[in-house]
Structure 1
């Protein structure tokens, strides 16, 4: 029986990097992303280059019926999923009073509700195996409030807490849950533009996607619960733990305001 890894947000960025790395290791894949993101082309390329089976499904995971339809498709296709990577997410930088309410809702729907519902509905598939895996993609933003992002770090704090609670609950059933906290990733033109506004600091905080993917997958194999790739991210984690928010707040306001202020 062929076993599959299901990856959401797989068409680009960290999801794509994880898909390629897993395929190189010989894993069969189910790639999930929004429609019209050339997911079929990526699936074909991975099949040819890595000689693995790659199925793909295009949908918007912000909608509950779409998640239920994905699960029905997996069941009808008789795909044995033993590994779930919840990578799909929405972020962005904007002053809260200027934020579109629809965008706020999509962050919550995808990052929180979509992740929880997909995990719950896919769990019966994972429980069929004596050992299975869930890797949730959180963010360094989960460890601290972020002005001019507000809802996004709160949603990633949910992923962090959700993952650790689920890990404790499911370990007796052979399901290992891990959570990875990447820092800034220049995987879209928008992200690259935001990071460039931070100059040298932005470049220093950036960790290559391939390194994040390889580190996360290696640490999952090692059984690690919380994964923080890169020394700059580890340093940021300890700063968030030991430096009071009242001290960090003025610096973060000054830094993150640059992301929403047009460059002249």
Structure 2
């Protein structure tokens, strides 16, 4: 039986780093991402370099019919999936009164609705195994409100709560659920530009993608429920728990305003 790991948002960033790391460990992969993101080329590179089987599927997971079509394809292809990594997600920084309503909807649809629906529809695949895994990618943003991001951290707080509840529910069925909370990640020129505006603090909070992928996958195998990569992020988690929001709020406003245009 050829078992597969299904990874969403796999064409770049943390999803790509996880795909490469898992392939190096000898796992077969199913990569999912938006169309026109060179997913076929990535799949072929991984096949050649790691000698594993790699399938791919291009779609926008913001809509229910697309998610259902993906799962129909998985069934028709008779993939044996023992590991689901919900990595696909979107965010960004913008003053809420200027935010495009379509963008707000896409964040909620992908980060919340898409994650929940895909997990539910892939669960029957996972339950065929005595031991299977779900790794949900949340964010350090899940632990605190963030001005000028607003909807994004709220969506990642959902992922955090969803993961812990699901872990408690599914553990008796042999499905281990973990959630990883990376900090800032320089996975695109846009992200790199935003992080540079935070100066030294932004650099301190940034952990290389390959390191995050290695830590997350290793901690999943150890059975860890909540994974926070990097000592600076662990410190940030402590701050979010013990320092009152009223004290943190002015710093957050000052930091996040730097990501916006000077007119804000």
**TM-score calculated relative to the size of structure 1:** 0.99
* Structure 2 equivalent of residue 173 of structure 1: 173
| Distance in 2, Cα, partners of 1:78 & 1:262 | 53
Structure 2 counterpart SS, 1:260: coil
| Distance in 1, Cα, partners of 2:42 & 2:191 | 22
* Structure 2 equivalent of residue 61 of structure 1: 61
| Distance in 2, Cα, partners of 1:262 & 1:167 | 44
| Distance in 2, Cα, partners of 1:193 & 1:261 | 12
> What are the within-5 Å matches in structure 2 for residues 100-179 of structure 1?
100-179=100-179
| Distance in 2, Cα, partners of 1:36 & 1:176 | 33
Which stretches in structure 1 are left out of the alignment for 5+ residues?
Answer: none
Of 253-262 and 81-90, deviating more is 253-262
* Structure 2 equivalent of residue 4 of structure 1: 4
Residue 201 of structure 1 deviates from its aligned partner by 1.1
1:116-141 Cα deviation digits (max 9, x unpaired): 00000000000000000000000000
Structure 2 counterpart SS, 1:224: coil
Residue 200 of structure 1 deviates from its aligned partner by 1.1
* Structure 2 equivalent of residue 225 of structure 1: 225
| Distance in 1, Cα, partners of 2:192 & 2:227 | 24
Of 199-208 and 173-182, deviating more is 199-208
| Distance in 1, Cα, partners of 2:75 & 2:261 | 48
Residue 189 of structure 1 deviates from its aligned partner by 0.8
| Distance in 2, Cα, partners of 1:176 & 1:200 | 37
> What are the within-5 Å matches in structure 2 for residues 184-223 of structure 1?
184-223=184-223
Answering whether residue 46 of structure 2 is matched by residue 46 of structure 1, we say: yes
1:164-218 Cα deviation digits (max 9, x unpaired): 0000000000000000000000001110010011111111111100000000000
| Distance in 2, Cα, partners of 1:249 & 1:188 | 27
Which stretches in structure 2 are left out of the alignment for 5+ residues?
Answer: none
How many residues are aligned here?
263
> What are the within-5 Å matches in structure 2 for residues 242-257 of structure 1?
242-257=242-257
Residue 261 of structure 1 deviates from its aligned partner by 2.8
Residue 254 of structure 1 deviates from its aligned partner by 0.6
Structure 2 counterpart SS, 1:235: helix
Structure 1 counterpart SS, 2:259: helix
| Distance in 2, Cα, partners of 1:202 & 1:140 | 13
Residue 49 of structure 1 deviates from its aligned partner by 0.2
Deviation above 6 Å: which 4+ runs of structure 1? none
| Distance in 1, Cα, partners of 2:201 & 2:125 | 43
Structure 1 counterpart SS, 2:29: strand
